[in-house]
Structure 1
């Protein structure tokens, strides 16, 4: 079984990694600035990116991570992405995740990326969440005491939902990003809006539509009042053309 791939490319600057279960040996990893991790065959790719990648490719400036099987939360670790400016995370199959997946744990990336300017999170939202902040007594939101995310300017979350951990993540960003210029919360799936620009919408299931409505109520109650006056706040709901699937 193939376990190690050696690449002798001294001028390599961009790298797409499709299976984090295979060890990669690069001639000069310090030159790599752009990385895409596609977790096709390995679970917990997001966790791997946070805990292992900074020591393997420390100079990365743009990181895109896709996970179809994220079963554990992202831990807080001391190692950092000192040069990372763009972070984009795809949680592509939410039904494969635990129902109480901790979106707030993604703060670990923000904490470990002092130069980060743009953070994009895509969540494939298929059904109504069972851990909505609206369904229980969730009066105290978690907070993490650490240096503020001084360079973070733009944040986009698609598949925004009403879970307590999603609300905590969003609140944390608003309260700890003094340079924030724009935050967009989109309740539709990330692929729906792409097709919308071409005049089409993919169907959304009934559960997804119901969750979008709950997300609107949660954002109105817990998020809208925390948006600073200098920040552009966009909240997007599924368009009227979206079909409700059963």
Structure 2
């Protein structure tokens, strides 16, 4: 349809809405054909389509005794849309992004969706909470720079599939429960955020398995690791604990590491010691021992956030673990590197 040109049609052979509307009108006793009249125009750089539908009177229903019409205006965003956010659209089962969306570069789809198919060539950032049976990002996967993936098997999927599917990935966020790691490479990955959730976390979970991300990401510069608070099922370090000596790596690019909700779980301390010894260019190591809900108002910070007695005890044990083991590992690494 050319811009500014009005077109009239009965749309007798058009599938979709016209066919459905025609069948509905017949049920209402409207036997005459529906007439569509419309035109396209551009406004503020976006293509619009205005359509008026003329509907005859009903032979069966007295309250539709007069002919009437309705007008609808649509917008064609496909050529100009750059940002797509479907947060909260929990009833979407299948999402298909067509190739005509040439400028789409960011898609925020924090929804549970079974099928996602993308053909937009410029898509470079994607945020997804998976329960996805089929995920196809098309040619855009080769150019993907940023990905967030949260769900029960996110880390396993991330390590097993993403290096080959998204070789140019630079920033990756993964949230998951415990899973095995696989020996594949993220050659270009620079920023990594990993979140271990407590919903299905086994007491026997070994945090040291996460060191495989260090092996798999030779260009990694920043690593944020968020873990759940320790519970009675995890082995905690103490003054007489014997830590495993994990094989040391020599990672030359990792500069910033932040541990969120750091605690004295033994395998987490072992992982941290390994990172400290392996990251020869490490510039900043941050431990956040208070992260989460404080339900017992024992103490509070300047913002009024309350910390429970249990959280205070955990934080104290975490600080002792840092002083007893991690500072010692850092001194060892400095002496070795010097």
Question: The TM-score by the shorter chain falls in which range?
Answer: 0.7 to 0.9
CA distance in 2, matches of 1:101, 1:157: 17
Pair 1:166 & 2:268 matched: yes
Unaligned segments of structure 2, at least 5 residues: 1-92, 95-113, 295-300
Match of 2:309 in 1: 206
Q: Alpha-carbon deviations, 1:17-47, whole Å to 9, x = none? A: 21153321112111100001122xxx13223
Equivalent residue pairs, number: 216
**Shift of residue 97 of structure 1?**
0.9
Match of 1:242 in 2: none
Match of 1:8 in 2: 119
CA distance in 2, matches of 1:138, 1:117: 31
CA RMSD in angstroms, aligned pairs only: 2.7
Question: TM-score, length-normalised on structure 2?
Answer: 0.58
Question: TM-score, length-normalised on structure 1?
Answer: 0.78
Q: Alpha-carbon deviations, 1:82-135, whole Å to 9, x = none? A: 0000001122x4253112321111101111000000011112327566410228
After TM superposition, the structure 1 = structure 2 runs for residues 79-228 of structure 1, keeping only pairs within 5 Å, are 79-91=184-196, 93-94=197-198, 96-125=200-229, 127=231, 130-134=234-238, 138-145=241-248, 147-189=249-291, 200-228=303-331
Pair 1:31 & 2:135 matched: no
**Shift of residue 190 of structure 1?**
6.2
Structure 2 CA distance for partners of 1:95 and 1:9, relative to 1, 3 Å: closer
Structure with the larger RCO, 1 or 2 (CA within 8 Å, 6+ apart): 1
What SS class does the counterpart of residue 276 from structure 2 fall into?
Answer: helix
Pair 1:53 & 2:162 matched: yes
What SS class does the counterpart of residue 185 from structure 2 fall into?
Answer: coil
Structure 2 CA distance for partners of 1:207 and 1:130, relative to 1, 3 Å: farther
Residue 66 of structure 1: which of 148, 168, 175 is its match? Answer: 175
CA distance in 1, matches of 2:129, 2:223: 22
**Shift of residue 155 of structure 1?**
0.4
Q: Conserved in 2, the CA contact under 8 Å of 1:126 and 1:205?
A: no
CA distance in 2, matches of 1:58, 1:189: 33
